Structure 1
Amino acid sequence: MVNLVVNEWVKIIRKKSTLIMIGCMILFVIGFAGILKYTETANEQAHDTNWKQAVETQISSDQAALGANANARMDMFYERNIAINEYRIENNIPPNQETHLWTFVDEAKTIISFAGLFTIIIAAGMVANEFSSGTIKLLLIRPISRMKILLSKYITVILFGLMMIGIIYLTSSLVGMLFFGFPMTDIAHLAYQNGEVIEKNIALHLISQYLLYSIDLLMITTMAFMISAVFRSNSFAIGISLFLFFIGGNATMLLATKFEWAKYILFANTNLSIYFDGTPPIESMTLPFSIIMLLIYFVIFQILAFTIFQKRDVTA
């Protein structure tokens, strides 16, 4: 199995497109840092010493909005903001007013969507491309079971996705240190969990956030890999995977504002970070519920991929 994974990994790394993807990720991080640095320099101003008044004004605004509409999710959002801002005033913790290493690493999380995009392209073409090019026959004539062949491809895709997230975290840490430096004072992340505000180590918080995003990437990649195993066409597999990647999340959030059953859709459950610091798309959703839903989808995707690949006729 290890040799199969190594072989698949070598096939991916040897492709020029893979090196271009990795280069793009690094350039995205550097470019993002350059934009933030330019914006910070252009709009440089003195720190607000009267921050408590601004926070109190925000609390009053959120309290007025709380309960003003029938959207339970927005009420949860306002409750979270009120609790965190009241904690700031009580403990004399001003809002962050500077860009530094940790704020940049946090902002760079948005680039993970590009890592997802590149990983989906690899996953969606992993099996379908073998059928399109006819090389699948060369694989299947070897004395290795189809299950091991498909599993090695899946493991390789997951490792590629984790590598891309790791590149973003390491590059953003290095670039953030060079462009913005460390914060002038010790800072902590204020999280709202189980109705109370807690302080978290900012470095550990960011690592946990990136790990939680890897679960999101895992599920989307598994879906794309299943589509690749089901359909022979490389272009069709990539096309439908990217369509679901770009449309699925937004469409699910729109449905979640009107329908309770939207919580059963895959894309409503992939972002587990909301349970540690945020608000779920539907009030009745919980962390155990989302984990169960993800496990159900994961099993379904794997059954479809391995069952269809095992039975597929490749003599044509």
Structure 2
Amino acid sequence: MSSSEVGLYPLVQNETIKIMKKRRFFVVLLILLALIPIFTYAQMRVAQNTKKQFGEQDWRLVSQQKINDYTNRLSSGRVPEEWKKFMRVQVRVLQYYLDKDVNPESPNGVTFTIGFLRNAIGLFIPLMVMVIASDLVSSEHSTGTIKLLLTRPVGRWKVLLSKFIAMVFYVSLTVFSTAALCYLISGAVFGYGGWDIPVFSGFKVVGTEVDFTFVHPVPQALFLLMEMGLVWFSAFVVGCMSLMISVLVRSTAAGMGIMLAVLIAGTILTNMASSWETAKYLFMVNLQLTDYLSGSLPPVEGMTLAFSLIVLSVWTAAAIAVSFWSFTKKDVLN
């Protein structure tokens, strides 16, 4: 390496500052600060309505009522078979918690955070990541700074690597900020306890049956860390795909439009993919990694956590390879 060549650290620092100056991460924080209180209020009203409906009844009676409701709906001929599969699984999981005498919905800040992350992993958090990562390279073309950037004494691969590292940093910051704000805001309403409450993990759905062989209790603190790890990995995959689109498409608007369409299509496919087995190889169908922890029905029968992790890893590796190949070989100055 030439003594005059720019090192990696200054490049990463520069990319991090550029992302911060665009204020997109602050927009993400503002969205979280606006939406989390709304969801917290909605959860509080649900708890109040449940208390009004069932009074001070024990949680066991509430869980049993849910089991009875699911069971009654299963006998209806108007309920689609896909919904029946979901309800059969939920009946078995709820019954398992009843048998173990553990409340699966104990209201506290940790429980709310776990639930929010579980529901946000498929679309909400990927959209937040896309907002940050979709213009890492394409914005350089639109502003004309790509020529200035590539005339510096530094290899193209190092320029893209610095953008990649900055993207990973902001993905991590987005996931951590989401969890932290969820806990801080919801804890003010539901309390900040609940870290040591046991949660059962290891459910395996086989057809319409639930395998309890590997089910074991873990503290909510550990369960939250497990869930955050899976959420981070899904967000990282979306970040890598967004980076690839940003390299291939020089228009930021077009890149964001493509990723938005892909993510929305993934949400739709997740609910419809059971009749299309090949869909399980699409990365967006595998983003709901946290469902495997709670024993939810997979989008396509036979999908497991290991399978989804492998599929996502292959897509990520391919996206990174295409990004670096295209950025280093393509004529980006014209």
Task: Name the CA distance, whole Å, in 2 between partners of 1:214 and 1:277.
Answer: 17
Deviation (angstroms), 1:148: 0.8
Q: How many aligned residue pairs are there? A: 312
- Aligned: 1:270 with 2:287: yes
- Aligned: 1:302 with 2:312: no
Structure 2 counterpart of 1:86, one-letter code: Q
Task: Name the CA distance, whole Å, in 2 between partners of 1:88 and 1:139.
Answer: 57
SS in 1 for 2:200: strand
Cα gap change, 1:172 to 1:22, in 2 (>3 Å): same
Deviation (angstroms), 1:169: 0.9
Amino-acid identity (%): 26
- Contact 2:59–2:103 at 8 Å: present in 1 too? no
Q: 2:92 aligns with which of 80, 83, 86?
A: 83
- Contact 2:109–2:190 at 8 Å: present in 1 too? yes
Task: Name the CA distance, whole Å, in 2 between partners of 1:293 and 1:211.
Answer: 17
**Aligned-CA RMSD value:** 3.0
Cα gap change, 1:288 to 1:108, in 2 (>3 Å): closer
- Contact 2:160–2:324 at 8 Å: present in 1 too? yes
- Contact 1:73–1:282 at 8 Å: present in 2 too? no
Q: 1:210 aligns with which of 228, 245, 253?
A: 228
Cα gap change, 1:192 to 1:65, in 2 (>3 Å): farther
Cα gap change, 1:308 to 1:187, in 2 (>3 Å): same
Q: Deviations over 1:213-239 (max 9, x none)?
A: 111111112111101101111211111
- More displaced, 18-27 or 209-218? 18-27
Deviation (angstroms), 1:82: 3.6
- More displaced, 110-119 or 9-18? 110-119
Task: Name the CA distance, whole Å, in 2 between partners of 1:284 and 1:140.
Answer: 47
Q: 1:25 aligns with which of 17, 24, 32?
A: 32
- More displaced, 111-120 or 57-66? 57-66
Normalised by the length of structure 2, the TM-score is: 0.81
Task: Name the CA distance, whole Å, in 2 between partners of 1:108 and 1:13.
Answer: 26
Structure 2 counterpart of 1:235, one-letter code: A
SS in 1 for 2:134: helix
Q: 2:56 aligns with which of 33, 47, 52?
A: 47
SS in 2 for 1:125: coil
Task: Name the CA distance, whole Å, in 2 between partners of 1:185 and 1:14.
Answer: 37
Normalised by the length of structure 1, the TM-score is: 0.86
SS in 2 for 1:271: coil
Task: Name the CA distance, whole Å, in 1 between partners of 2:80 and 2:40.
Answer: 40
- More displaced, 53-62 or 210-219? 53-62
Match of residue 146 from structure 1:
156
Match of residue 257 from structure 1:
274
Task: Name the CA distance, whole Å, in 2 between partners of 1:249 and 1:49.
Answer: 36
Q: 1:285 aligns with which of 285, 303, 321?
A: 303
Deviation (angstroms), 1:182: 4.2
Match of residue 208 from structure 2:
none
- Aligned: 1:131 with 2:141: yes
Match of residue 237 from structure 1:
255
Equivalent runs, 1:47-196 vs 2, <5 Å:
47-49=56-58, 51-52=60-61, 55=64, 58=67, 61-62=70-71, 65=74, 75=85, 77-78=86-87, 80-94=89-103, 96=105, 99-109=107-117, 110-111=119-120, 113-182=123-192, 187-194=197-204, 195-196=211-212
SS in 1 for 2:301: coil
Gaps of 5+ in 1: none
Runs of 4+ in structure 1 over 6 Å off: none
- Contact 1:73–1:281 at 8 Å: present in 2 too? no
Match of residue 217 from structure 2:
199
- Contact 1:104–1:172 at 8 Å: present in 2 too? yes
Structure 2 counterpart of 1:189, one-letter code: V
Task: Name the CA distance, whole Å, in 2 between partners of 1:189 and 1:47.
Answer: 23
- Contact 1:274–1:280 at 8 Å: present in 2 too? yes
- More displaced, 137-146 or 180-189? 180-189
- More displaced, 116-125 or 29-38? 29-38
Task: Name the CA distance, whole Å, in 2 between partners of 1:185 and 1:298.
Answer: 33
SS in 1 for 2:201: strand
SS in 1 for 2:218: strand
Deviation (angstroms), 1:136: 0.5
- Contact 2:138–2:252 at 8 Å: present in 1 too? yes
Structure 1 counterpart of 2:113, one-letter code: V
